[in-house]
Chains A and B, each alone.
Chain A
């Protein structure tokens, strides 16, 4: 069908199939990307995007099909893929937290002489890679001390440092704010102009239209369509992803009638948090906006006690009765729920079943005298799995066997079951597809309608605007301004977030 000879194609994956247990995750998919082309791969959660990319990067072996780079077949295995010039930026961060930025960038490829690491060279190469993507970060800083966004950029620097011919990015913008996303997209266009072939995965359709020249749509592992982006409209892309027409019923505002103040946090101090005071009322959704690194996650963690706070007081009031929250355990016991930012490290036990993951915070109500009630657990977990639209809804499967977006649904399900009085959601729809996102938004609103006080952190501005009744914008660990639903626009939030200085990454 194509006239170009295979040697002109940077990467050609042909007839890739991969089966996990009984189900085909990728079903006979073929992908060709030319040098300088940005090719987007889109599809719902579990469509097989990550699996296809992992096959191309040699991380998993496909059951059938082949991968060629400039006409040369690539052997299985990550080593061969790296040597062939394929670099993958994982959907989930894969840095070593206790190593420095420079060490992480060159992990697995340390420059050595006589077997000794040459730290000078190491730092130089790392610095170059960071310069190439235009990000400044201290090379000697430990990765564990960086914000999630900076980690994402370090991750990209790591791929770029290998000077790949083919760069694969699996949902790189899921953790980024709009400004950072813009920055990343410009960077990718620049890299493509330099001749790199780029495979790009995102659930954010506007991004796909902004940067890619071609798009491949996957559904249930099958290749529905590959076409130049210019031939498609966003609605057509979405319809092809879901295989039916998805009605745009976003922006359904609730009639919020907030009740009593459920959560009152006073003068909270913690690392990266400077004396913040805020309130959340029953039935109210309060959003926290700001650039990544502004201290939003740190603030919510300090409020509920997931991290220590150095000063401040938090009280939780329900039906006129107040308790002062001292520890995270007491917070949970008193009706606090928390969907953390990092689902794989903080949100889920990956090698345990969905049912066990849901059981964890709900174990008291699913047992009698400390002895588990298996039937109750199964019913409870199944009901919640159905409620969040887990696909496939098999609660006895290990959580780690689900796609990223579906894992996020499991984390949400864990806490929905507790019907918390105060719910904290940190990036609740990261990596979740359009349809599921609308569904999660509906669940969050429903929770608020039932009287839960909700505090949401989101870097996804449309999401923040849609969900929140009030938005507090943070910068440098402080709340720099608050906007009501009427005043809040993407523009007004960003203005408060950026302050005077134009800040990016």
Chain B
């Protein structure tokens, strides 16, 4: 029996099966939705939310977005490497801020930056070694280093608040603006571009992504995978350090619980941006948009007088939606 009954009709060629069309839509949504949603949200806010478009408000949105965004663009590397997230950014942000103010008060700015950099490298080394060499779970490891980091910081700082001098480079940076855009936001933009190039254009970025897709194949491709993982944590740590500087400079104070909530909000921005928590897929630019989206949304809620509790609920719901969409798109695509 030769099967040559019907030639495929022209209509058949255009009608793809339901499931593959759905897969296409879902994948597209989970990967590109952020561009559209961000645009719609900003447009909506400009038209309907009183005070959103004012220069002061825009500056304020940028100010709040910058430190979280800087953490998030850095942490994107850890997420893409397939290691979920780095919880210890909580401790890293606070450590950097306290070191910046406290050390520069006694020894000057340059030693302060060096000391903060050393602290960041230490975090990256411990996290990266445990995860990259000993294959420990990143969530557990970074939870532990958060405790260690915060514990040490409270011990050395005595839990006190540090105040910077009323003027000087830190203050100038903290208050500086170009139009409505504060320096901190410019740092975020520069970080986004630099880290975007690092991820997309360099062998290191390629290996981070490749590791997130298939660890074994990456290793057998002749890669020192431990170095790749340590590198991903180092990028995160340096970003968290810069975020700590930005935060401390803005308020001209630093205290050991400055970074609380950063791990979660950074992750929210990364996930909403469309970077996959399964590793391998995602980009720094998406994270940037995710930060803008989350910040604008929070700002709208604030301006509308919605209480902090509900803001948190909204953020939580948003993450569940984004993660589910990602997981669903994967599942449908695999069929």
Interface residues of chain A, those whose CB is within 8 Å of chain B, are: 1-2, 15, 17-20, 24, 27-30, 32, 59-64, 223, 225-226, 306, 328-329, 331-333, 338, 340, 345-352, 356-357, 359-361, 363-364, 367, 370-372, 414
Contact = CB atoms under 8 A, between A and B. Distances in A.
Contacts of A350: 213-214
B3 A306 contact: no
Contacts of B13: 19
A24 B2 contact: no
Given A61-B17, A63-B17, A338 B206 contact: no
A370 B203 contact: yes
A372 B203 contact: yes
Nearest to A377: B206
A190 to B, nearest CB: 27
A328 B219 contact: yes
A359 B20 CA distance: 30
B304 interface: no
B223 A329 contact: yes
Interface of B: 1-8, 12-13, 15-20, 201-204, 206-207, 209-210, 213-214, 216-224, 280-281, 335
B193 to A, nearest CB: 15
B250 to A, nearest CB: 34
A361 B219 CA distance: 10
Contacts of B216: 345-346
A349 B214 contact: yes
Contacts of A360: 206, 210, 217-218, 221-223
Given A328-B220, A372-B202, A226 B3 contact: yes
Given A356-B210, A370-B204, A361 B16 contact: no
A351 B213 contact: yes
Contacts of A359: 206
Contacts of B2: 223, 225-226
A360 B206 CA distance: 8
Contacts, number: 114
A329 B204 contact: no
A351 B334 CA distance: 11
Contacts of B206: 356, 359-360, 363, 372
A332 B210 contact: no
A414 B224 CA distance: 18
B47 to A, nearest CB: 39
A501 B17 CA distance: 54
A346 B217 contact: yes
Contact of A347 (B202, B207, B220): B220
A16 to B, nearest CB: 9
Given A17-B8, A27-B8, A361 B222 contact: yes
A32 B1 contact: yes
Given A333-B222, A363-B203, A59 B3 contact: no
Nearest to A29: B3
A351 B222 contact: no
Given A329-B224, A345-B216, A347-B217, A28 B1 contact: no
Contact of A338 (B1, B15, B18, B220): B220
A349 B217 contact: yes
A223 B3 contact: yes
Most chain-A CB neighbours within 10 Å: which of B19, B207, B222, B281? B222
B218 A15 contact: no
5 contacts: A19-B16, A30-B3, A345-B217, A347-B220, A372-B202
Contact of B220 (A18, A306, A356): A306
Given A30-B1, A349-B217, A350-B213, 9 more contacts: A15-B3, A19-B20, A24-B8, A60-B335, A64-B8, A64-B12, A332-B221, A345-B214, A356-B210
A378 to B, nearest CB: 15
Contact of A332 (B6, B204, B222): B222
Nearest to A16: B3
A194 B46 CA distance: 73
Contact of B18 (A61, A64, A329): A61
A349 B210 contact: yes
Contacts of B18: 61
B35 to A, nearest CB: 21
Given A59-B335, A329-B222, A348 B12 contact: no
B104 to A, nearest CB: 33
CB-CB nearest 7 A-B residue pairs? A332-B222, A360-B221, A30-B3, A349-B213, A349-B214, A1-B1, A361-B221
Contacts of B224: 329
Most A CB within 10 A of own CB, among B4, B213, B224, B281: B213
Contacts of B19: 61
B28 to A, nearest CB: 14
Contacts of A62: 17
Nearest to A304: B220
Contacts of A372: 201-203, 206
A328 B222 contact: yes
Nearest to A333: B222
B12 A17 contact: yes
Given A63-B15, A349-B210, A371 B5 contact: no
Contacts of B5: 15, 28, 30
B217 to A, nearest CB: 5
A360 B221 CA distance: 6
B213 A352 contact: yes
B203 A348 contact: no
Nearest to B211: A349
Contacts of B209: 352
Given A17-B8, A63-B17, A363-B206, A371 B201 contact: yes
A86 to B, nearest CB: 16
A376 to B, nearest CB: 13
A340 B281 CA distance: 25
Contacts of A371: 201-203
Nearest to B216: A346
A340 B214 contact: no
Nearest to B24: A21
Contacts of B204: 370
